[in-house]
Structure 1
Amino acid sequence: MPEIKKIIETGWNLDNSYARLPKSFFTSLNPTPVRSPKLIILNYPLATSLGLNVQALQSNDGVAVLAGNQIPEGALPLAQAYAGHQFGHFTMLGDGRALLLGEQVTPKGERIDIQLKGSGKTQYSRGGDGRAALGPMLREYIISEAMHRLDIPTARSLAVVTTGESVIRETEQFGAILTRVAASHLRVGTFQYVSKWGTVEELRALADYTLQRHFPEVDADENRYLFLLQEVIKRQAMLIAKWQLVGFIHGVMNTDNMTLSGETIDYGPCAFMDAYDPATVFSSIDIHGRYAYGNQPHIAEWNLARFAETILPLLHDNQVQAVKLAQDAISDFTELYHSNWLAGMRGKLGIFNEELQDETLIEGLLSMMQNYGADYTNTFRALTFDKWSDTVLFGTRSFAQWHELWQARLGRQQEPKISSHQLMQSSNPALIPRNHRVEEALEAAVKHGDYSVMERLLDVLSCPYAHSPEQADYSKLSAKSKRPYRTFCGT
């Protein structure tokens, strides 16, 4: 892929490899200008890593780019076409309120998508206004940065600007635009779209592009498209395990929200689990619990099967053999996910080696936590620092028995207790973006124009494994509410 070397003052170094794919994959158009853009938050470390000039980004011209009022040199804005299974039902989709400006080629030679979210109507808006409200864009900024700090692959947020215009959802709200960056915005849904409405040649072009973009290490003499499937499965198995290990609930695991790069994307009705319960659901539209915490691994496998179906014509000329190759690859997901999850759970309990009974020990703890309504994050933190009284499990007979088994397990490994403590400290975050803290930050920002609450929250979330005194208040649970916590898509 050729690279544009010229860098303007702001540091934009944009290429447009996606725009060189078949024209049916996207629609070229410019963002719709907004009335009076104002920069609300800028991700300084991310901007620097992208090779951007932070001061220039804060100038009038820089903010105009982040708002879609100006097009940076080298950009070829486009809305990507894709399809997807939404809550199990297949439909045509596409970027209905987002535009890909191009791919920033960083000083390290990395290729990173730059996308404006909330930039106006596109061909794929399906009756929507193409805009975004301030609250959901700030939520995505907070959660995506928290996920990055938790070492979970994710799309990230470069900036949020307000537009000076209103958007109508249930009520009139402040309009905003988020600048999102990602390794790419290639999705399972992208392949579903081309498989359904494109040609085999176009499907091959998309697969070759995905390999070149994300998996260039493929050997020339192997089945490159089977390799693509296997690598996507590996990345998703690792990603979903990381979600489960911190209690993250995506909320809307449609196939159009599963990336081929293995990054978390689209933070709509997402939230973090407090009391451990596999049936936990926060999304207001997930009335049947399809995307509940405990279902996420199964849904990921289902989504990957849909991806495998799209590339059957590429896997083998013989349909029967192609299906077998796909089925064999998909069947590996459960074991790959389970091994990632089990390794992570061993780390959370300070266990270095492997024993057959480890899973029984882990499941015993989780079962207790569910029975007593124990907080997921704080329970593991209490175990890390031997602060048993900080958990509702303390004083129960079942916990005493489990604790004895756990201590005996730690005693059967060569590593000393201090090493187990260090492993647990690096595996168990001191805090997560508590739902009530996120809502507190959003309310202060949206209703009162006070961004200091969000800034403090982002600061304590920036080092989740530090276990510093400043983080103590942010690890506390909210007061009990008679109403369950609900999140919304914000579309």
Structure 2
Amino acid sequence: MTLSRRENAAPIPFDNSYARLPGHFHARADPTPVAEPWLIKFNRGLAEELGLDGAVLEKDAAAIFSGNRIPEGAEPLGMAYAGHQFGQFVPLLGDGRAILLGEVIDRVGRRRDIQLKGAGKTPYSRRGDGRAALGPVLREYIVSEAMHALGIPATRALAAVVTGEPVYREEVLPGAVLTRVAASHIRVGTFQFLAARGDTDGVRTLADYVIDRHYPHLKGSSRPYADLLEAVIGAQAQLIAGWLHVGFIHGVMNTDNCAVSGETIDFGPCAFLDAYDPTKVFSSIDRGGRYAYASQPAIGQWNMARLAETLLPLLDPEPSEAVNIANDLIAGFGPRFQAHWLDGMRRKIGLETSEDGDLDLVQALLSAMHSGGADYTLTFRRLCDAAEVETGDAALSGLFADPAALHGWLSNWRARCEREPPTGNQRAKAMRCVNPAFIPRNHRIEQAILAARMDGDFSLFEALVEALANPYQDQPKFAPLAQPPQPEEEVLQTFCGT
């Protein structure tokens, strides 16, 4: 690395703990300079949250967040990991087009990664070019920030930069770099990389690091590694329940895309439901429907079983007892997920207390939505209006192919609501805090990408970012962004960004 690339860079107070882990956990990798970088978007609010001077940093943002200028104190590296990709184990993957610049301690004392995605080759790139196209960068910026605003743990977008250079996929596309921020980028696949090599000491080192960084309350535990597994299982169960609450489909839940911090990571072919369909798949590479909307909880549990396998030597010196411990903890995933999911669905339909028939009530609504082709997001948002005044029933029922099909459910729902204390206004207000008016509609994302790629027009991208920053508020000026697609606008497939 030449010193000239570090001159005059805006100050970022790096403290790079992952770079201090054993050398085989990662490989040094400098970003590859690009021709003519210019800044698409800089997230000044997130910069300030990280304890950075947003005004100063923005002046150098195009150079820093393209990789042309490396801030002092950065230790750029690619992280090593393995992973099960669509069920098939690959012993070495690693950051093929992502480079971890370093870590900062934010304003509330949390350690956060700052990573460039699309900044050039690393030792893990294999035959790839290490670059990203503009479309996937815009998609991840929009969706990751939307997930954060929805209250679902996710990596964040700090900046997006156009490189001024093409990338070559099925067609020639403009190149771009995304800067994302994460609690960490440690994945189930990171543990698998070490375990596959028989590196039990490495697994222990990584587990201790994860406990210290993400689950410090476990330090001093009499069974720290079992408790770590249980904590990650709990975080994943809650995360995936949150995905289902807002109709999110990750699209590629490989173990190398499963962060042990409990954040949503890697927004490649992700999408949101329009019409409710539990079997819905958008990802072009998920030909067997492995990662369909309703399959995500089962895959989450499967991923946790793969993490447990890596930790077996640490759980108990007796292999059979280690397996028993792991199996007991993995079996807890289902009940944890179900509790989080049902609690959230109760809130979505305006219930504060628990009754035995609540699951049937929720399932009956979902079944009616599926058979009636009703839009997932709008159904719940209009249910808020129906909770306030019965005249809202007509707009809600109008979302269904047979509006009369919902009448019986509405009667049962109102009877259930009457057994709780909130008034209609209070109930509707609470429901509007958990049922978004705005989600990142797939067709709008595609329209924004096309306008940016073909015409250099980022106005729809900017509008989406602004609207999605306040997803639970009615924003009349953005009303068209809340609407589902017309038949000719519907997005049938989404694509990975590699």
Equivalent position of 1:87 in the other structure:
86
Mean CA deviation greater in 238-247 or 409-418: 409-418
Q: Secondary structure at the match of 2:174?
A: strand
Mean CA deviation greater in 465-474 or 364-373: 465-474
Instruction: Determine the C-alpha separation between the residues in 2 that align with 1:221 and 1:175.
Output: 48
Q: Indicate how the Cα distance of structure 1 residues 76 and 177 shifts in structure 2: closer, same or farther if over 3 A, else same.
A: same
Supply the AA of the counterpart residue of 1:287: R
Q: Secondary structure at the match of 2:439?
A: coil
Deviation at 1:422, TM superposition (A): 1.6
Q: Secondary structure at the match of 2:146?
A: helix
Q: In the alignment, does 2:228 pair up with 1:223?
A: no
1:149-160 equivalent positions in 2, closer than 5 A: 149-160=149-160
Supply the AA of the counterpart residue of 1:281: V
Q: Does the CA-based 8 Å contact 1:38-1:163 persist in structure 2?
A: yes
Q: In the alignment, does 2:476 pair up with 1:469?
A: yes
Equivalent position of 1:190 in the other structure:
190
Q: Secondary structure at the match of 2:96?
A: coil
Equivalent position of 2:29 in the other structure:
29
Instruction: Determine the C-alpha separation between the residues in 2 that align with 1:344 and 1:150.
Output: 13
Supply the AA of the counterpart residue of 2:378: N
Mean CA deviation greater in 46-55 or 334-343: 46-55
Supply the AA of the counterpart residue of 1:389: A
Deviation at 1:392, TM superposition (A): 2.8
Supply the AA of the counterpart residue of 2:301: E
Q: Structure 1 unaligned segments of length 5 or more: list them.
A: 1-7
Cα displacement string for residues 147-203 of structure 1 (whole angstroms, at most 9, x for unaligned residues): 111000000110011111110011111111110110000000000001111521111
Q: Does the CA-based 8 Å contact 2:118-2:176 persist in structure 1?
A: yes
Instruction: Determine the C-alpha separation between the residues in 2 that align with 1:395 and 1:195.
Output: 54
Deviation at 1:49, TM superposition (A): 0.8
Which of 389, 398, 405 does residue 394 from structure 2 map onto?
389
Q: Does the CA-based 8 Å contact 1:160-1:179 persist in structure 2?
A: yes
Instruction: Determine the C-alpha separation between the residues in 1 that align with 2:475 and 2:418.
Output: 28
Equivalent position of 1:52 in the other structure:
52
Cα displacement string for residues 261-290 of structure 1 (whole angstroms, at most 9, x for unaligned residues): 000000100010000011100011111110
Supply the AA of the counterpart residue of 1:437: R
Which of 397, 402, 408 does residue 409 from structure 2 map onto?
402
Equivalent position of 2:457 in the other structure:
450
Q: Secondary structure at the match of 2:309?
A: helix
TM-score normalised by length of structure 2:
0.95
Equivalent position of 1:3 in the other structure:
none
Q: Secondary structure at the match of 1:177?
A: strand
Deviation at 1:414, TM superposition (A): 2.2
Deviation at 1:468, TM superposition (A): 3.0
Deviation at 1:58, TM superposition (A): 2.7
Deviation at 1:17, TM superposition (A): 0.6
Deviation at 1:11, TM superposition (A): 4.0
Supply the AA of the counterpart residue of 1:71: I
Q: Does the CA-based 8 Å contact 1:430-1:466 persist in structure 2?
A: yes
1:363-442 equivalent positions in 2, closer than 5 A: 363-386=363-386, 387-390=392-395, 391-393=398-400, 396-442=403-449
Q: Does the CA-based 8 Å contact 1:153-1:263 persist in structure 2?
A: yes
Which of 452, 456, 480 does residue 487 from structure 2 map onto?
480
Q: Structure 2 unaligned segments of length 5 or more: list them.
A: 1-7, 387-391
Taking every aligned residue pair, what percent have the same amino acid on both sides? Answer: 52
Q: Secondary structure at the match of 2:65?
A: helix
1:21-420 equivalent positions in 2, closer than 5 A: 21-59=21-59, 61-91=60-90, 92-386=92-386, 387-390=392-395, 391-393=398-400, 396-420=403-427
Cα displacement string for residues 362-405 of structure 1 (whole angstroms, at most 9, x for unaligned residues): 00000000001110000111111123333333864431111110
Supply the AA of the counterpart residue of 1:308: A
Instruction: Determine the C-alpha separation between the residues in 2 that align with 1:427 and 1:69.
Output: 42
Q: Indicate how the Cα distance of structure 1 residues 483 and 406 shifts in structure 2: closer, same or farther if over 3 A, else same.
A: closer
Equivalent position of 2:497 in the other structure:
490
Deviation at 1:461, TM superposition (A): 1.0
Instruction: Determine the C-alpha separation between the residues in 2 that align with 1:395 and 1:203.
Output: 56
Supply the AA of the counterpart residue of 1:338: Q
Instruction: Determine the C-alpha separation between the residues in 2 that align with 1:367 and 1:108.
Output: 43
Instruction: Determine the C-alpha separation between the residues in 2 that align with 1:40 and 1:303.
Output: 36
Q: Secondary structure at the match of 2:486?
A: coil
